[in-house]
Amino acid sequence: MPTRNKLYFASDFHLGAPGYAASRERELVMVSWLDEIKADAAEVFLMGDVFDFWFEYKYVVPKGYLRFFGKLAEMADSGIKIYFFKGNHDMWMFDYFEKELGATIITNELIIERNGKNFFLHHGDGLGSGDHFYKFLKKFFRSRLCQWLFARIHPNFGVGIANRWSVKSRHVNGKKEAKQLNPERFEILPAFCNDLLNNQFYDYLLFGHRHRTADILLNNGKSRYINLGEWINTRSYAVFDGTNVELKYFVQQNVG
């Protein structure tokens, strides 16, 4: 039996988008990936926007994703540590995954050391300069007042509003990205990393959020900025084998 000593990182699955059929297909691919890595995974880091929308009411959680949850439960029961990062689409995670999976919920960054390597992990939203309107919205959405108010709305209505907001946001951002093949905003995270490294050294700085894979050697000539990409199109992820972090792409062997 393989030794469980690897760290796996993935982000931006966007379960639920753009509709039931596409989301179910993506969920099955995710389950196949988890099934493949469970033999040698020590820790799995799901780094934000796992869901296109998520809100945990006191007694209700969004329906669906049973196969995904079942595979995570199997992995957690076998001793694999699971981390959920709050993304900009699923920032309203509370304690459901902690109670059911023993998972650790990460609100902002997570700094870890493994096998002598230092990691800075963050979904990637709201970092660096600019984007002041989003930063204001993020602060409001994460406030207890906003969460309390949203919890007062019936799930049928609240989830419907959130899903329409999400689709609109994705549609607008998609247009921007199509018009700008190399938009300046994609340079914000590497710049943020270089500034961060002025005060603290990290071997690897991993993010999601941008939906574009990247592996960039930073200004100090030692640290690497790695963006995990997404699972709507590329099915990309990263793995740390104890020595090095490598970006990979999941190819499903058996469909159906």
Q: What is the mean pLDDT of residues 229-246?
A: 96
Amino acid in the structure at residue 242 = G
Structure tokens at 2: 């393989």
pLDDT, averaged across the chain:
84
> What does 34-79 look like in DSSP terms, one character per residue?
HHHHTTTEEEEEE-S-SBSS-B--SS---S--HHHHHHHHHHHHTT
The edge-to-edge listing of strands for the beta sheet with 245-249 is 104-106, 81-85, 41-46, 6-10, 236-240, 245-249
Instruction: Please write the tens of the pLDDT for every residue from 122-147.
Output: 999 878 766 665 565 666 566 776 66
Among 241, 105, 125, 250, residue whose Cα is nearest residue 189: 125
Structure tokens at 42: 């020590």
CA distance 218 to 138: 28
Instruction: Please write the tens of the pLDDT for every residue from 84-94.
Output: 999 888 877 88
Pairing mode of beta strands 224-228, 213-217: antiparallel
User: Which pTM was predicted?
Assistant: 0.86
Please give the pLDDT value at position 157: 61
Amino acid in the structure at residue 205 = L
Q: Which residues contact 91 (CB under 8 A, 6 or more apart)?
A: 138, 141, 142
Among 20, 15, 43, residue whose Cα is nearest residue 113: 43
Q: Which residue has the tokens 């100090």?
A: 220
Architecture label for domain 6-249: 4-Layer Sandwich (3.60)
Please give the pLDDT value at position 59: 79
- Give the domain ranges of the chain: 6-249
Instruction: Please write the tens of the pLDDT for every residue from 167-224.
Output: 555 544 444 443 433 444 558 899 999 999 999 999 999 999 999 999 999 999 999 9
Q: How many residues does the chain have?
A: 256
Instruction: Please write the tens of the pLDDT for every residue from 4-28.
Output: 899 999 999 999 888 889 999 999 9
Q: What is the mean pLDDT of residues 59-81?
A: 92
Virtual torsion, Cα 203, 208, 211, 216, nearest 10 deg: -10
Please give the pLDDT value at position 179: 41
Q: What is the mean pLDDT of residues 96-117?
A: 95
